[in-house]
Amino acid sequence: MTTEMPPTDFDLDHFLPYRLDRLADRVSEALAQLYETHYGLNVAQWRVLAWLHHRHELTAKQIRAATRMDKARVSRAVQVLEGRGLIVRRPSPRDQRLHDLRLTETGQALMVELVPQVRAWEAELVAPLTTEEYHRLLDMMARLERQLRDDVR
């Protein structure tokens, strides 16, 4: 009995989900070296800080939705960041079951120092692209995100 191999017309190098996943992993790992080495932050902690810097006040549930991280990962990150004095957690006046999270002055100072560094890192990453290509890339990514949100079930 001979076993035939399946057709080889499925090339992962030309399969968008695989390529995006691989690129996202590589970008996240490379960027993590900057904030892990210099600031002792892991990926989850960085994402919480970045979202609080961006929106100023969020609940853990809102951060989970924005980052697509699971509840335990966000909870651990919040505990560590609160313990380091980088964020503060207060009961929400809108819903006593929730806590509003905000950066402390120390957390704000860290982000004022860190954001220019991650922006410079991003600039190096996209240096091979023209400004127009960079904007087109962001536009195409936004269209794919809308497609997933609106049409793909």
pLDDT tens per residue across span 84-94: 999 999 988 88
pLDDT for residue 153 is more than 60: no
Residue 87: exposure state from Cβ atoms within 10 A (0-12, 13-18, ≥19): buried
pLDDT value of residue 6: 62
Mean pLDDT lowest among 5-19, 110-124, 134-148:
5-19
CA distances from residue 125 to 20, 33, 49, 50, 88 in whole angstroms, order as listed: 15, 14, 22, 19, 33
pLDDT value of residue 3: 65
pTM metric for this prediction:
0.83
Percent of the chain with pLDDT over 90: 79
Domain boundaries of the chain, sorted by first residue = 23-150
What's the whole-number average pLDDT of the chain?
91
Spatial CA neighbour of 144 closest among 17, 50, 22: 17
More confident residue, 25 or 1: 25
Please give the CATH number for the structural domain made up of 23-150.
1.10.10.10
